[in-house]
Chain A
Amino acid sequence: MWRRCLLPGIAGWLAAVTPAMAFIAYVSNEKSNTVSVIDTEKWTVTNTIKVGQRPRGIEFTRNGKFVLVAVGDDDRIEVIDTATQQVVDSLPSGPDPELFTQDAAGKILYVANENDNTVTIIDLEKRVRVGDVQVGVEPEGMAISPDGKILINTSETTNMAHFIDTATRQIVANVLVDARPRFAAFKRDSSELWVSSEIGGTVSIIDPAKRIITGKIEFSIPGLRREAIQPVGIGITKDGKTAFIALGPANRIAIVDANTHKVTKYLLVGQRVWHMAFTPDEKYLLVTNGVSNDVSVIDVAAQKVIKTIQVGELPWGITFAQP
């Protein structure tokens, strides 16, 4: 009798007090020209950092010491020191930087410059521009293959995923996808490259070796027009089994079985859901809701929205330090 009461009691007490790992998320607010800092222990905004005009793409440096944020209307990338949570430097990015990615060593930064159809290559240590690659019209999505050999850039009006050899900096293949490709993500095992098409309303599954489309994820939500379903951000779990796709003005996250490429569930989040980031332990997924000015927290295992955190105006990108 005693045992039965005691054990669940202790187990419950232990679960309650075992401190969850606290992580810090940085969220770019496109309209307010700020970056919100979220503490996942308290699930609140602990600081708001003033940055340049129109912050969008945001990512931790590989060493976790800095956060880079593209401030498009100021034509540069600002560097936030995570120790002081202040802007300490900026990088020459080329005009109107939006999204960017780094090589595995964290030495080279590849930036999509929407205004002049180029991908700019920046040496992060020397902080200089070391080259450009001419791509299609309105470059946007950026991803680097897990082995670091191929850089993917998507161009929104050309509707392609460009495969760029990072050694020669030449385009080696182009894959035509549906209209307005916004975001690209590799599975960790390099078996698949996913590209979201905002206006086309699909996610293309590309075989990175053959460089052809092998499948497409389509979405259908009862009561919603096809035009309102606009996939943008993609998050694939490290084990490559589950993916989360932000559907923009459909105000939903699609949960996809990453093996069968079938949607298993839609989660209602905030308005115009855009980009996302997992906590490093992958317990939670945070998604930015542009129009409702907040971030939804999704419990990854339970596949449920558990919290909403108010941030700045038009939250766009989000990043966590990877341990």
Chain B
Amino acid sequence: MIRQLVGVIGISLLASYALAADPVEVGIGYLGQAGVRSKLSLVEQPSENDGIAGARLAIEDNNTTGKFLNQRFYLEEVRLKDGEDIAKAATALASRNGFIIADLPAEALLKASDALRGSKTVLLNAGSTDDRLREQDCRTNVIHVAPTRSMLADALAQYLVWKQWKRWLLVVGSHEADKLYADALRRAAARFGAKIVQERVFEDAGGARRTDSGVTLIQRQMPVFTQQAPAYDVLVAADESEVFASYLPYRTWDPRPIAGSAGLVPTSWDAAHDQWGAIQIQNRFIKLNSRRMTARDMQAWTAARMIGEATSRINSGDPKSVFDFLNGADFSVAAFKGQRLTLRDWNLQLRQPILLVDGRMVVSVSPQEGFLHQHSELDTLGVDRPETKCKLNR
């Protein structure tokens, strides 16, 4: 009798334990660098919280959903100072979080990835556009949310070719990132039938980005720099280093539009984007952060939302299970781009439409109509499966 009673109590204890199950708790780390990159335009100067502000909004969104599912999401921010040990910081962050949203340059991201080999923690690259991270240097523990340079360049090229602006004058900055962007633009021109009529290099001679009489000097410099060019339709600038591109519009020798790093810019997000329900996330973002949403914010938002989306579907915050879901056939995420976003299983890159913006308006969204693909038109942007150099060891 007593035994039976104990049994009944045991069962009821078990039952009540199951009813009041512990919430699914998901820790997400955010690993970025201290300081902000300087922009030529004062209005484009990024905030100190550029990027992580988007992750914070996604955590709020995930938690609104999570309260109906007994799931909770947390964000832990770590900023690396110059010279700080990335491997150590990543390992420490991974000991407390199953996911790390990384806003790091390629080299630092690879160090973090290598340090976390063997750990369960999954990295989500929300900052680096380097193609090599998805190609020869791809890693099994890094999902790429940021688009690649080749995706951005292809998105721009499709539009310019559609517009019949097929003769490009390519101007390239003298820094490594500028050269990588130029590589992507050359590849895009060849793929979509544009012709680079001439290339010029704009040497970074150093100097301050802000001066009290800067305009006078630039007004003389830029026409001279762009004169005597062969006949061209559009000047395409590769200047990720923010040295010269924003000085080109209205100052070229020939009256020509500018694209690339200034003028018509390909990007994953823009504060002017309002289609497909985007106005709602723009409003939510402004309400939370008292400023407008940038591409880096959106990339971090999407990364954190992907984790939230997967967790809500599988009711587990286990990094391995979430990773498998994200890389499986059932995953897609809605990110205000007019269609579902999914992962390329050959290199863990998020497929996404690319906006073409002029700083005030969204001019167009690529892929452009008519650029067809046998699997997904989004795969007309960037390096496709048959061309990939990525070999994931799975």
Known: A179-B340, A228-B339. A160 touches B332 (CB 8 A): no
Known: A138-B277, A199-B339, A227-B339. A158 touches B376 (CB 8 A): no
Q: Which residues of A contact B332 (CB under 8 A)?
A: 179, 199-200
Q: How far is the CA of A137 from the CA of B313 in the complex (A)?
A: 16
Q: Does B377 lie within 8 Å of A156, measured CB to CB?
A: no
Q: Does B280 lie within 8 Å of A115, measured CB to CB?
A: yes
**CB interface residues, B 61-84, toward A, < 8 Å:** 61, 64-65, 68-69
Most chain-B CB neighbours within 10 Å: which of A157, A159, A180, A198? A157
Q: Does A199 lie within 8 Å of B69, measured CB to CB?
A: no
Known: A114-B280, A138-B280. A200 touches B312 (CB 8 A): no
- Chain B: minimal CB distance from A291 (Å): 12
Q: Does B377 lie within 8 Å of A225, measured CB to CB?
A: yes
Q: Does B68 lie within 8 Å of A199, measured CB to CB?
A: no
> B13: CB under 8 A from chain A?
no
**CB interface residues, A 130-166, toward B, < 8 Å:** 136-138, 155-160, 162
- Chain B: minimal CB distance from A223 (Å): 10
Q: How far is the CA of A2 from the CA of B68 in the complex (A)?
A: 75
Residue of B nearest to A180 (CB): B334
Q: How far is the CA of A150 from the CA of B153 in the complex (A)?
A: 50
Q: Which residues of B contact A180 (CB under 8 A)?
A: 277, 334
Q: Which residues of B contact A230 (CB under 8 A)?
A: 339
Partner of A179, one of B280, B283, B334: B334
> B189: CB under 8 A from chain A?
no
Q: Which residues of B contact A156 (CB under 8 A)?
A: 277, 280, 334
Q: Does A201 lie within 8 Å of B340, measured CB to CB?
A: yes
Interface string of B238-282 (1 = CB under 8 A from A): 000000000000000000000000000000000000000100110
Q: Does A158 lie within 8 Å of B334, measured CB to CB?
A: no
> B333: CB under 8 A from chain A?
yes
Q: Does B64 lie within 8 Å of A158, measured CB to CB?
A: yes
Q: Does B340 lie within 8 Å of A225, measured CB to CB?
A: no
> B284: CB under 8 A from chain A?
yes
> A124: CB under 8 A from chain B?
no
> A171: CB under 8 A from chain B?
yes
Most chain-B CB neighbours within 10 Å: which of A158, A171, A249? A158
Partner of A171, one of B68, B277, B376, B378: B68
**CB interface residues, B 34-92, toward A, < 8 Å:** 61, 64-65, 68-69
**CB interface residues, A 97-123, toward B, < 8 Å:** 114-115, 117
Q: How far is the CA of A122 from the CA of B184 in the complex (A)?
A: 55
Q: How far is the CA of A281 from the CA of B65 in the complex (A)?
A: 41
Interface string of A217-228 (1 = CB under 8 A from B): 000000001011
Q: How many residues belonging to A are interface residues under a CB distance threshold of 8 Å?
A: 28
Known: A115-B283, A201-B340, A228-B339. A159 touches B376 (CB 8 A): no
Q: How far is the CA of A57 from the CA of B238 in the complex (A)?
A: 45
Q: Which residues of B contact A171 (CB under 8 A)?
A: 68
Most chain-A CB neighbours within 10 Å: which of B68, B333, B338, B377? B68
Q: Which residues of A contact B312 (CB under 8 A)?
A: 159, 176
> A174: CB under 8 A from chain B?
yes
Known: A179-B334, A200-B332, A228-B339. A136 touches B377 (CB 8 A): no
Partner of A158, one of B65, B377, B378: B65
Interface string of B307-340 (1 = CB under 8 A from A): 0010011000000000000000000111000111
Q: How far is the CA of A96 from the CA of B277 in the complex (A)?
A: 12
- Chain A: minimal CB distance from B348 (Å): 19
Q: How far is the CA of A318 from the CA of B55 in the complex (A)?
A: 38
Q: Does A117 lie within 8 Å of B65, measured CB to CB?
A: no
Q: Does A227 lie within 8 Å of B313, measured CB to CB?
A: no
- Chain A: minimal CB distance from B363 (Å): 18
Known: A136-B68, A137-B61. A199 touches B340 (CB 8 A): yes
- Chain A: minimal CB distance from B225 (Å): 42
Partner of A176, one of B281, B313, B334, B338: B313
Interface string of A168-212 (1 = CB under 8 A from B): 000100101001100000000000000000111100000000000
Partner of A136, one of B65, B281, B333: B65
Q: Does B340 lie within 8 Å of A159, measured CB to CB?
A: no
Most chain-B CB neighbours within 10 Å: which of A114, A160, A179? A179
Q: Which residues of B contact A162 (CB under 8 A)?
A: 68
Partner of B284, one of A115, A200, A249: A115
Most chain-B CB neighbours within 10 Å: which of A155, A159, A227? A227
Q: How far is the CA of A230 from the CA of B334 in the complex (A)?
A: 12
Q: Which residues of B contact A179 (CB under 8 A)?
A: 309, 332-334, 340
Q: Does B284 lie within 8 Å of A174, measured CB to CB?
A: no
Q: How far is the CA of A282 from the CA of B64 in the complex (A)?
A: 40
Q: Does B68 lie within 8 Å of A160, measured CB to CB?
A: yes
Known: A159-B312, A176-B313, A200-B340. A137 touches B64 (CB 8 A): yes
Q: How far is the CA of A111 from the CA of B338 in the complex (A)?
A: 24
Q: Does B334 lie within 8 Å of A199, measured CB to CB?
A: yes
Q: A-B pairs with the 3 shortest C-beta distances?
A: A199-B334, A158-B65, A227-B339
Chain B residues near A (Cβ < 8 Å): 61, 64-65, 68-69, 277, 280-281, 283-284, 305, 309, 312-313, 332-334, 338-340, 376-378
Beyond known contacts A136-B68, A227-B376: 12 more, CB 8 A cutoff: A96-B283, A137-B61, A137-B64, A156-B334, A158-B65, A159-B309, A159-B312, A160-B65, A179-B309, A198-B334, A227-B340, A227-B377
* Sampled A-B contacts (30; CB under 8 Å): A136-B65, A136-B68, A137-B61, A137-B64, A137-B65, A155-B65, A156-B280, A156-B334, A157-B334, A158-B61, A158-B64, A158-B68, A159-B65, A162-B68, A171-B68, A176-B312, A179-B309, A179-B332, A179-B333, A179-B334, A180-B277, A180-B334, A198-B334, A199-B332, A199-B340, A201-B340, A227-B339, A227-B377, A228-B339, A230-B339
